[in-house]
Amino acid sequence: MEGLFEINTTLQYRVKALEQQVDEFRSGERYKKIQQDYGRVIDGFIKEIARLKKEKADAEARAISTRNIWFDECESNWKDYQTELNKKEETINRLEERYWKSLREHDEEIAKIKAEHRAEVEEKDAIIEKLKEELAHEKAMNGRDSNNTSLPTSKTPIGKEKRIPNSRRGTGKKKGGQPGHTQHKMAKPSVDEIDDVIDHCPSAEEVCPTCGSDRLKYTGEYEEKYEIDVEIKVTKKLHRYFLYECEDCGEKVRTGIDPNHRAECQYGATVQAMALSLMNSANAAINKVPLFLSGITGGEIKPCEGYIAKLQPRAAKRLRQFQNDLYAVLILQKLLYWDDTVVMADKKRICLRFYGNEYIAFYVAHDQKNMKGILEDGILEALTSDTRVMHDHNSINYNKRFIFINIECNAHIQRDLQKIIDDTGHTEPKELKDLISITIKERNDLIKKGSDRFDDEYIKAFNEKLTDILERAMIRANENKSKYTGPFERAVISRIISYRENFFAWIYDFSIPTTNNLSERSLRGVKTKMKVSGQFASTETANNYALIRTYIETCRRNEINEIEALARLCNGNPYTVEEIFSLLK
């Protein structure tokens, strides 16, 4: 046991000594010590060589002196001196050889230590560069907002200034009404429209503001102030269906009962319309609808949540024919916008899709966001080669089975370019973004003046600038080796180059839109609904919502009152597609 203890103690000392040597190598102290040791050895060699050379010189001097003076007597000793000199020469050569060998070993040791330190430094430099790149990536992620991504302004992080998109150009004028501007005010109703007249006589406490006297005499004059308000009046109607008796057979006959009056007591179409409007336009939760109706009616109307929930599928069922008729009109349009978004239904991600334009809003829901759902819609496949379709670079649109003309959204590509600018600081994406913005503004100015296209010289100059910027941007993107920003930058620039005609078709024809904002605005409401309700119960309930929104939005875009349209729907007589577009004409 004592022997093992001694061995263990010895090993511990050796390990400690080795660790001390490793630390000395890492800190550079060992390197300095080796230099000092080799320096002392080499200094000793140099001194010894110098001493021997001096002895050799002295010996040669003595030999010459002795030969001159005692030549005859010392000739016999010359060979001894010569031998001694040869030995000293050999010693010098041997010492020089040892000197150069030690020097080489010293240089090799130093090179080895330098190589070890160089590898360690390179490794640390690589780690530092990686951390710098990750830090830059995190800064870029924190800097993302609605200006450089599709992030809505409502999701701007706390403490960060919101960037509200605004395409209007500043005039340099102060806010508010301008000098000479005609003041806008509500038009007063006519005498026939007045429902009530309220006279305001002075109170007992009212006195003359000048002298304080309470002796006030009526002059026969008055000032008129009008008030326009809403008064909610609950109406309770009794519908009597008379019974008759057949004089021939005695059978009891009752007049036909309206399907909406099946129950003994039910809510009318206006109540149902208001509930549907709250759920599908105002995005109110089901449990908030009864509270609102109760509040505006003084508690007289407060339907249960179950009744409110049943209104959705009942209304959607009555709109199947409307959906089919609207589809037939939709596929004949010359310009369509479309987009889709992910929503939640029964804890799963599903897709809500929009097709339409300024007059038509067509919504559908699907279990997945893929080609299968698009083919089930049957819209894109039915479009002709004369139809232009605006989208946010949905690559699925370029499938060979579709023959329509694709138009790419410039608002999205500008946000992508801004993201590259913020992430990399490259100037070429900024030049491209500025070129697009300036050109769109100049186009808008020409449209206001009645123009329908740019002149040929302007188009030529634009294309030359665009080509130059894209070529330089592609070179810069290829030089970007960052795994965070490089792939995205190359993808965006390559996309613009590959789909250049689709992105900039609006240069040649002012009737072509520059953005897909209409689709985005149309889908924004469902995102608000998700914030309120969290999710749909199923894809079927999402489709019910889509059908009702299709009816509401299409009516609204054609200047039809929403509540009136929903009341007709609840009465079983919704506006038809033919009615809507005949009113438009």
pLDDT at 315: 96
Which whole number is the average pLDDT over 451-476? 95
Query: What mean pLDDT do residues 471-478 have?
Result: 95
195-209, 281-295, 326-340, 478-492, range with the lowest pLDDT: 195-209
pLDDT at 50 over 60: yes
Of 508, 533, 26, nearest in space to 286 by CA:
533
- Tokens read off for 557: 């875009």
Residues 311, 417: Cα–Cα separation, whole Å: 46
Residue 365 has phi, psi (to 5 degrees) of: -125, 145
- Alpha carbons 187 and 190: distance in angstroms, whole number: 9
Q: What Cα–Cα distance (Å) separates residue 132 from each residue in 125, 128, 136, 143, 151?
A: 10, 6, 6, 16, 26
Q: Give the C-alpha separation, 80 to 73, whole Å.
A: 14
| pTM exceeds cut of 0.85 | no
Confidence at residue 151, expressed as pLDDT on a 0 to 100 scale = 55
Q: Are 363 and 353 in contact (CB under 8 A)?
A: yes
Closest by Cα among 123, 561, 534, 554 to 355: 554
The residue extents of the domains of the chain are: 2-119, 330-584
Question: What does the DSSP assignment read for 514-552?
Answer: S--HHHHHHHHHHHHHHHHH-SBSSHHHHHHHHHHHHHH
Over the chain, what is the mean pLDDT? 85
How is residue 100 written in tokens?
A: 């150069």
- pLDDT at position 389: 97
Q: Is the pLDDT of residue 73 over 70?
A: no
- The closest alpha carbon to 502, from 434, 387, 409, belongs to 409
Give the model confidence (pLDDT) of 298-357 as tens digits. 999 999 999 999 999 999 999 999 999 999 999 999 999 999 999 999 889 999 999 999
Q: Per-residue pLDDT for 567 more than 80?
A: yes
The more confidently predicted of residues 572 and 80 is 572
Question: How much is the pLDDT for 145?
Answer: 62
Sign of CA dihedral 467, 471, 472, 473: positive
Structure-token pair, residue 348: 């799963």
State the Cα–Cα distance between residues 466 and 383, nearest whole angstrom: 31
Strand partners, 244: 253
Q: Distance between CA 545 and CA 283 in Å, rounded?
A: 10
Residue 328: per-residue pLDDT: 95
pLDDT computed for residue 124 by the predictor: 76
| C-alpha–C-alpha distance, residues 355 and 333, integer Å | 11
Give the separation between CA 365 and CA 543, rounded to whole angstroms.
Answer: 5
Counting beta carbons within 10 angstroms of the beta carbon of residue 512, is it exposed (0 to 12), middle (13 to 18) or buried (19 or more)? middle
Place of tokens 């429209």: 193
Q: How much is the average pLDDT of 436-463? A: 94
Average of per-residue pLDDT across 494-516: 95
- Using alpha carbons, select from 533, 543, 536, 153 the residue that is nearest to residue 353: 543
The pLDDT confidence band at residue 137, using thresholds 50, 70 and 90, is low
Greater pLDDT, 392 or 49: 392
Q: How far out from the chain centre does Cα 258 lie? A: 52
Count CB-CB contacts under 10 A for residue 279.
Answer: 24
**Residue 54: per-residue pLDDT:** 82
Contact (Cβ atoms closer than 8 angstroms) between residue 214 and residue 202: no
174: which residues sit within 8 A by CB, 6+ positions away? none
- Nearest-angstrom CA–CA distance, 144 and 138: 10
Residue closest to 385 by CA, chosen among 368, 400, 401, 404: 404
- Which residues make Cβ contacts (< 8 Å) with residue 445, sequence separation at least 6? none
List CB contacts of 53: < 8 A, sequence separation 6 or more.
92
Query: Which of 340, 417, 331 minimizes the C-alpha distance to 378?
Result: 331
For residue 391, list its beta bridge partners: 408
pLDDT for 158 equals: 58
